[in-house]
């Protein structure tokens, strides 16, 4: 378990990834995302998660360059979007992302969603990028166990990461067990369920006991479950508060109370039906 903001988790290919980072979904591609990224890095964050779909890779790259921290000390993730999937189109999408970020490599590149009939060809492209050293690790996002089994049946490289919606209302127990068994690191997007969990009585009660916020309790729960987490924020106060979770621990009783909140409820789409909605 990580014990400090800059602590890392070793992925299945030996690459070390920070266990806590900044997500920038829906952050505007202007001074908003530039300043958020720059501020986060200057305050100790070392992992930034973006995607071509977020349409803010230029701002993310600028924020990293302006942070004063060397590129090789920042772990940068991006993702290939659904309409970019397929072998050649994924290679082109990767090049576009690098150009927008103004970088010559990525630390992690993910298949954003399991687009039926395409994600295997997309993965083949990621394997090529990985073999060429253009990306240090490759993984997936929003994959159920059956998607992962299907992908791994024909793959040369096992995904290092599966980034999924994960929070106390969606504990993903079956998926967590599967990924643990396969040595695929789980990573949480929307760890706070888009703010919907912040008034949950159990969480506020545990938060009061520790002198913390409900958000900090949830993010600590992620960390203690060995799940990498990337809460999204563009405000300075929240960027600092989100990372202020390394000076307390949840007890076994706290963890159990939070675990019992699981109702398998999503704030985002289900990977089995996302492309039919």
Distance (Å, rounded) from C-alpha 143 to C-alpha 141? 6
Neighbours of 173 (CB within 10 A): 11
Please tell me the chain's helix, strand, coil percentages from 3-state DSSP, rounded to the nearest 5: 45, 15, 40
End-to-end alpha carbon distance in the chain: 37
Distance (Å, rounded) from C-alpha 224 to C-alpha 222? 6
Residues 6+ apart with CB under 8 A from 63: 33, 34, 35, 36, 37, 38, 41, 48
Residue 273: which of 147, 160, 182, 177 has the closest Cα?
Answer: 147
* Catalytic status, residue 54: yes
Instruction: Spot the catalytic one: 25, 45, 54, 119.
Output: 54
Residue 80: which of 133, 140, 153, 37 has the closest Cα?
Answer: 140
The token duo for 47 is 């992992």
**With contact defined as beta carbons under 8 Å apart, do 189 and 112 qualify?**
no
Would you please indicate which residues are annotated as catalytic (active-site) residues?
A: 54
């Amino acid at each position: 378990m990580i014990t400090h903001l800059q602590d890392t988790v070793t992925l299945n290919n030996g690459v070390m990834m920070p266990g806590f980072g900044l997500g920038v979904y829906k952050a505007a591609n202007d001074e908003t995302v530039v300043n958020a990224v720059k501020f986060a890095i200057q305050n100790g964050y070392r992992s930034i998660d973006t995607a071509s779909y977020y349409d803010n890779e230029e701002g993310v790259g600028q924020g990293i360059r302006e942070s004063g921290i060397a590129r090789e000390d920042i772990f940068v993730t991006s993702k290939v979007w659904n309409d970019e999937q397929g072998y050649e189109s994924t290679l082109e999408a990767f090049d576009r992302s690098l150009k927008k970020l103004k970088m010559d490599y990525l630390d992690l590149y993910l298949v954003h969603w399991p687009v039926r009939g395409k994600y295997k060809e997309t993965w083949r492209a990621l394997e090529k990028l990985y073999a060429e050293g253009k990306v240090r690790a490759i993984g997936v996002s929003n994959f159920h166990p059956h998607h992962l089994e299907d992908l791994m049946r024909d793959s040369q490289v096992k995904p290092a990461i599966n980034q999924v919606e994960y929070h106390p209302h969606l504990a993903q127990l079956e998926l967590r067990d599967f990924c643990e068994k396969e040595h695929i690191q789980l990573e949480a997007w929307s760890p706070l369920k888009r703010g919907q969990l912040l008034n949950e009585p159990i969480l506020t009660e545990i938060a009061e006991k520790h002198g913390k916020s409900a958000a900090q309790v949830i993010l600590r729960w992620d960390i203690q479950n060995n799940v990498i987490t990337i809460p999204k924020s563009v405000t300075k106060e929240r960027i600092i508060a989100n990372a202020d979770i390394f000076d307390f621990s949840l007890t076994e009783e706290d963890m159990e109370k939070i675990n019992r909140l699981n109702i398998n409820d999503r704030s985002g789409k289900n990977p089995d039906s996302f492309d039919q909605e």
